[in-house]
Amino acid sequence: MVPAPVPSTVEGDEPALIVLVSNGPGELSTWVRPLARLLHRRLALRPLVPGASLGLRLVLVPCPNATGSEHRVASAWGLFDQVLPARRFWPLLLQPRRHGSWPRHGVVVFLGGDQFWTVLLSARLGYRHLTYAEWVARWPRWNDRVALMGPAAAARLRPRWRDRSWEVGDLMADLSEASRSDEPLAGGPWVALLPGSKRAKLQVGVPFLLETADRLAALRPGCRFLLPLAPTTTVAELQALAGAANPVARHYGAGVPLRQGNRLITPAGTEILLCEQHPAHGSLSQCSLALTTVGANTAELGALGVPMIVLVPTQHLQVMQAWDGWLGLVARLPLLRRLIGVALTAWRLRHRGFLAWPNISAGRLVVPERVGAIEPAAIAAEAADWLDHPTRLAAMAEDLRSLRGRPGAVAALADLVAELLPAGAVQRPPG
């Protein structure tokens, strides 16, 4: 059952906008892109339907977990008639007309960041407002619709706002449906290496995982490696972070890999297949195991049912200030970042709870988290042990799939977006 449509007083084909609001690379690939693609399949939207009365726009908001290049990634998809980078968010609130044409009617959809930013933006533009609430809807009073991920978010919503809420499910659950690949990976087993997307994580993750791959290849010569390239980085940057330009790299022995076609070859001879297609869900879903940093990638891997070992090498706290919230903001203060950043990060690790999204979601340890002064040799040995016991890997994968929920959340969210649009703006795409 779908909630009753919100009454509209608009007639004809008066221009309108759907404005998706988000922040970091994980949210863009797992929430924004699937919804944008489905909206284009259902509605006549610019830019894919030139001259359509309804447009699709993306506004990025300030976020300490963003890389600063999200707008370039989203623009390359060709799904939006305008992408506004985070640095233009505050000027947009002050003077919208200087940042594009904004018709009188539209819908603002929260898909990542701070929910209050969409409260401000929808109020400033006079648009209707829809929030996708993963864990809690913070400002239901100023929402026309609240799309809830599941019962946990629903339980935290006051009864007075239940009539404007709808439980749509987990947007991540649809990743498995979209991950079917026409190009199977040959041989195996395959191990995915995910060093992160932000420089603070890459500085540690790249040299750490390259040495781990070398050591794992020595323990299991038939093992193959896949490195999905984050859209916010380049192969040249990965190579630089493995060399002398990165002070962390001197603690590891892998050296700078050479690029040969679609592969990186370490000085020890380990071949690592590069996956430059984004998102890399089709290739990732074929991996037996992933070695990954913390972040949205743990949610993606969990949604794909890929077993993982989550790594946080704390011996490099001085460069691992990639936390969210006020701790991360204070850790970035120019004059105090080294002293306070290290102290706050160490405090958070001691009082951390779970770090991987599957563990946070389940409230228990589903995937192993290795936090501390960990070394590539120990991680390679642990990975080899997992690969030697495929039944244990299969059990972890099944546990991850049980947390995923049923597919269909993207379609349900698209239904809610369409209901908030003016009736005259909802038209089917040609063909």
- If asked whether residues 364 and 352 sit together in one domain, one would say yes
pLDDT at 323: 45
Q: Which two tokens stand for residue 287?
A: 């991996």
SS (H, E, C) 235-297: HHHHHHHCCCCCHHHHHCCCCCCEEECCEEECCCCCEEEEECCCCCHHHHCCCCEEEECCCHH
Identify the H or E element spanning 83: strand 82-84
**For residue 330, what is the domain's CATH number?**
3.40.50.2000
Task: Please say if the pLDDT value at position 120 is more than 90.
Answer: yes
pLDDT at 362: 85
Average pLDDT over residues 241-245: 93
Range of the domain at 222: 190-404
pLDDT band, very low/low/confident/very high, at 1 (cuts 50, 70, 90): very low
pLDDT at 27: 87
- If asked whether residues 157 and 214 sit together in one domain, one would say no
- If asked whether residues 354 and 206 sit together in one domain, one would say yes
Question: Is 246 inside a domain boundary?
Answer: yes
Total domains in the fold of the chain: 2
Question: Is 85 inside a domain boundary?
Answer: yes
Task: Please say if the pLDDT value at position 341 is more than 90.
Answer: no
Question: Is 182 inside a domain boundary?
Answer: no
Tokens 């498995």 sit on residue: 176
Contact call for residues 31 and 111 (beta carbons, < 8 A): yes
pLDDT digits (tens, 9 = 90+) for 246-301: 999 999 998 999 999 999 999 999 999 999 887 788 899 999 999 999 888 898 89
pLDDT digits (tens, 9 = 90+) for 304-322: 999 999 998 877 766 655 4
Who wins on pLDDT, 354 or 101?
Answer: 101
Strands (E), 293-386: 308-313, 369-372
Calculate the alpha carbon distances from 125 to 104, 108, 274 in Å.
Answer: 8, 9, 43
pLDDT band, very low/low/confident/very high, at 8 (cuts 50, 70, 90): very low
Sign (positive or negative) of CA dihedral 285, 231, 84, 13:
negative
pLDDT at 104: 93
Contact call for residues 149 and 166 (beta carbons, < 8 A): no
Contact call for residues 159 and 137 (beta carbons, < 8 A): no
Question: Is 303 inside a domain boundary?
Answer: yes
Average pLDDT over residues 191-200: 89
Cross-strand bridge partners of residue 21: 59, 110
- If asked whether residues 138 and 281 sit together in one domain, one would say no
Task: Please say if the pLDDT value at position 344 is more than 80.
Answer: no
pLDDT at 141: 94
For all residues of the chain together, what is the average pLDDT?
A: 86
Task: Please say if the pLDDT value at position 55 is more than 50.
Answer: yes
Cross-strand bridge partners of residue 289: 191
- If asked whether residues 367 and 420 sit together in one domain, one would say no
